[in-house]
Amino acid sequence: MGQTLRLGLAVFWLALSANLYATDLDVPEDLYQDPDWLTLGHYQPGPLGRGYTSQADDDRFFLSPDGKHSPKAELEATLRAIQTPGDGDLHARCRFPARDAWLRERLGLPRSPVTCPAYDAWKRTLNTETVTLVFAASYLNSPSSMFGHTFLRLDPPQQDEQTNLLLASTISYAADAQAHDSELLFAYKGIFGGYPGITTVQPYYEKIRLYSDIEHRDLWEYTLNLTGPEVERLLAHAWEIQDKRFDYYFFDENCAYRLLALIDVARPGTRLLDEVGTHAIPSDTVRWVVDKGLVSRVYYRPSAATSVAYQIDQLPAPQQQLAAAIANGYVAPDAPEVRALPEPEQAAVLDATYDYVRYQSEAEGWPRGYAAPLSHRLLMARSRIHGAVPKDTPPTPPVRDDQGHDTFRLSLGTGQQDHREFLNLTLRPAYHDVLDPPAGYRPGAQLQFLRLDARVYTDNDELQLERLTAVEIRSLSPRDAFFSPLSWQVGFGARRTDTGQDRVLTPYLEGGAGGSWRLGGATQAFALATADLEIDDDLSRGYDAAPGADLGLLHQSDRLSLLAGVRTKAWLVSDQHRRDQLYLQGGWHLGRRFSLFAEFSRDHHFDRYQSLWHAGLHAYF
């Protein structure tokens, strides 16, 4: 009885003293507004600067019931919780090691040791010395991947140069989509919210397999110059947000955004998140990281597709034909014509052929029944050649993706449309078109979002919305003896269309598919079959549709980009006329900040000819 009483008293005293301890602390009144604390809680100021809301959408991320909206309540609750005696995985100090460390340092609390078995084991497994930001570039023939993707790699202490980095862990943040959701639903929910974002830890080789082998995306590895304590903070905070739900939004709260928050926590005062305006395009976020002086080293890891194209390119023409013959089954990997070559050349042919067969199996779905036995024979033949070091790997591109032009474009121009003069203003928040400076972007790829073109006609000072491009994707990928990609385009928005009497603003949907062939280094010719649909009251039958064709030439170089061609559209329903157009567009690049542009087109429509010319300046921000 007495013992129970004493125990009760002791507990009471303990609770009281913990409480006293907390209240005795000299906590500055506005500590909860400290940027570091707000970063740790992922708090953002509310609209009009009133109040705060955390981006975390998970009760387990908060210790106070009001934590989601009150950094103050959360700070008080955290302060109380971390001073509660005890330890173990469920203790606040183990659940929120980054908050714990920050508060202790800030308030001069003793850093008494604490045992957190799960967190400690996790850190031991990750075995991290440095952190690398990895950027997955966009892939061949898929401009829609142009935004890129970023994740963090946790590099172990280096004993073996590059090698054991394949086993390093990565931290990534992505929308956790339902596997059965269709792509359209995915796009909708991805953009407007609806999927939980989750933080996952995976070995780097799994990432390489996904991005480099399956999706054909080159990887850029930016090793960050974080110090030991900074890496420790990053891991502590990664632990806090791991498995916590943060709703995922494509434009801003995306993969790149959450990583920026981690870096902000790691190095207080970095304020990378302040750079985020309306959207966080991963390639832009890489620029910010580079600009803030966080990068010590950059390494380029070409994708399987880049490597195989390069290897084939390095072969002399007769050996390219031999490789194609082996890949297509006309010549055996150990046939006399292969063996007649000197060993290093045999090795080069077999290596390129094997990689090509693997690429075709992944990308073009060559059946296993054909590709696997052929792959095996190729490797058997190759294993008999010793000492032939594989050919050089593809060189690092001279301009990285983050060194290309900035993605926001503002254009001012003047021109004449059917003898009416106008001034034109174009705003394009993202991303790149084929006439922009090409360095750092995939040739022939175009992706534009929310582009707005407005004109003021000077004869009567009339302001007109010329065009609103919601989305426009174009991919012109040259075909050759080894690769036969489809060139395609798709777009929708609203544009001026000629009804014969007037130019009316009409919603449209357009698409096209065809092929492209390289004519020389930076020039390609393309031919596309196109389809257009317009729906508007002002059209005599309410809508119109046109099959068509687009034949053209595209040249892209650092100084000059040119696009010229002819297109025709047979408007079948309302208009009932064919529209033929000759077009010529060019960009003269003044570095990567500015570009002069000019375009000319001549139309034949409704039995009359009309001309447009337009010239001006693009500026990239």
Partner 1 sequence: MKKLIAGAILLGASSMAFAQPGCGVGAMIWKGQSGIAPHVLAATTNGTFGNQTFGMTTGTLGCQTNEAVQSMAMYMDSNIDKVARDMSRGSGENLDTLAVLLGVEQGDRETFRKVLQDNFATIFPSADTTSGEAIDAIVGVLEQHEALSKYVAA
CB of 122 to partner 1, least distance (A): 12
CB of 579 to partner 1, least distance (A): 30
CB of 549 to partner 1, least distance (A): 24
CB of 604 to partner 1, least distance (A): 36
Structure tokens at 408: 């926001």
Q: Does 314 bind partner 1 (CB under 8 A)?
A: no
Choose the stretch contacting partner 1; rule: CB under 8 A; options: 93-101, 287-295, 356-364, 512-520: 356-364
CB of 148 to partner 1, least distance (A): 8
Pick 127 or 296: Cβ nearer partner 1 = 127
Q: Does 174 bind partner 1 (CB under 8 A)?
A: yes
Residue from the set 145, 303, 446, 469 that interacts with partner 1 by CB under 8 A: 145
Pick 21 or 205: Cβ nearer partner 1 = 205
Q: Does 14 bind partner 1 (CB under 8 A)?
A: no
CB of 125 to partner 1, least distance (A): 8
CB of 494 to partner 1, least distance (A): 22
Query: What is the distance between the terminal CA atoms of the chain, rounded to a whole angstrom?
Result: 77
Pick 162 or 296: Cβ nearer partner 1 = 162
DSSP-derived secondary structure letter, 440: T
Q: Is the peptide bond before 188 cis (omega within 30 degrees of 0)?
A: no
Place of tokens 């005795």: 24
Pick 8 or 373: Cβ nearer partner 1 = 373
The answer to whether 52 touches 69, Cβ cutoff 8 Å, is: yes
d(CA 370, CA 357): 10
CB of 5 to partner 1, least distance (A): 49
E strands of 230-343, at which residues?
246-247, 295-301
Structure tokens at 394: 């593809």
Place of tokens 């001034």: 423
Q: Does 509 bind partner 1 (CB under 8 A)?
A: no
Q: Does 342 bind partner 1 (CB under 8 A)?
A: no
CB of 92 to partner 1, least distance (A): 28
d(CA 203, CA 153): 9
Residue from the set 171, 226, 371, 430 that interacts with partner 1 by CB under 8 A: 371
Residue span 115-134 as binding mask against partner 1, x where in contact by CB under 8 A, dash where not: ----------x-x-------
Pick 328 or 393: Cβ nearer partner 1 = 393
d(CA 451, CA 472): 9
Residue from the set 4, 163, 460, 501 that interacts with partner 1 by CB under 8 A: 163
Q: Does 310 bind partner 1 (CB under 8 A)?
A: no
Which candidate, 328, 336, 384, 383, places its Cα nearest to that of 357? Answer: 328
Q: Give residues 202-231 in contact with partner 1 (rule: CB under 8 A).
A: 202-203, 205-206, 209-210, 214-215
Choose the stretch contacting partner 1; rule: CB under 8 A; options: 107-115, 187-195, 305-313, 532-540: 187-195
d(CA 203, CA 180): 25
Structure tokens at 345: 């050349």
CB of 187 to partner 1, least distance (A): 5
Return the half-sphere exposure (C-beta side, CA atoms, 13 A cut-off) of residue 8: 5
Helix axes 317-327 and 368-383, enclosed angle (nearest 10): 130
Q: Does 162 bind partner 1 (CB under 8 A)?
A: yes
What are the backbone angles phi and psi of residue 356, rounded to the nearest 5°? -65, -45
The answer to whether 455 touches 464, Cβ cutoff 8 Å, is: yes
Return the half-sphere exposure (C-beta side, CA atoms, 13 A cut-off) of residue 65: 0
Q: Does 195 bind partner 1 (CB under 8 A)?
A: yes
Residue from the set 373, 500, 542, 591 that interacts with partner 1 by CB under 8 A: 373
Q: Give residues 260-289 in contact with partner 1 (rule: CB under 8 A).
A: 282
Structure tokens at 416: 């004449």
Residue 607 backbone zone (phi > 0: left; psi -120 to 50: alpha; other: beta): left
Q: Does 183 bind partner 1 (CB under 8 A)?
A: yes
Q: Give residues 381-400 in contact with partner 1 (rule: CB under 8 A).
A: 382-383, 386-390
CB of 221 to partner 1, least distance (A): 13
Return the half-sphere exposure (C-beta side, CA atoms, 13 A cut-off) of residue 359: 25
The answer to whether 58 touches 245, Cβ cutoff 8 Å, is: yes
- Other beta carbons less than 10 A from residue 417's beta carbon: 20
Pick 10 or 191: Cβ nearer partner 1 = 191
Which candidate, 254, 588, 601, 289, places its Cα nearest to that of 417? Answer: 601
Size of the residue set binding partner 1 (CB under 8 A): 65
For residue 591, give the amino acid letter: G
CB of 309 to partner 1, least distance (A): 17
For residue 600, give the amino acid letter: F
DSSP-derived secondary structure letter, 605: E
Choose the stretch contacting partner 1; rule: CB under 8 A; options: 249-257, 501-509, 518-526, 558-566: 249-257
CB of 279 to partner 1, least distance (A): 12
Pick 205 or 300: Cβ nearer partner 1 = 205
- Other beta carbons less than 10 A from residue 491's beta carbon: 19
CB of 344 to partner 1, least distance (A): 12
Structure tokens at 552: 């053209």
For residue 618, give the amino acid letter: H
d(CA 452, CA 428): 6
d(CA 62, CA 577): 65
Q: Does 200 bind partner 1 (CB under 8 A)?
A: yes
Q: Which residues does 89 contact at the CB level (< 8 Å), separation at least 6?
A: 95, 116, 117, 118, 119
Residue from the set 9, 20, 107, 372 that interacts with partner 1 by CB under 8 A: 372
| Residues binding partner 1 (CB under 8 A) | 125, 127, 139, 142, 144-145, 147, 149, 160, 162-164, 166-167, 174-179, 183-184, 186-187, 190-191, 195, 200, 202-203, 205-206, 209-210, 214-215, 248, 250, 254-255, 282, 347, 351, 354-355, 358, 361-362, 365, 368, 371-373, 375-376, 378-380, 382-383, 386-390
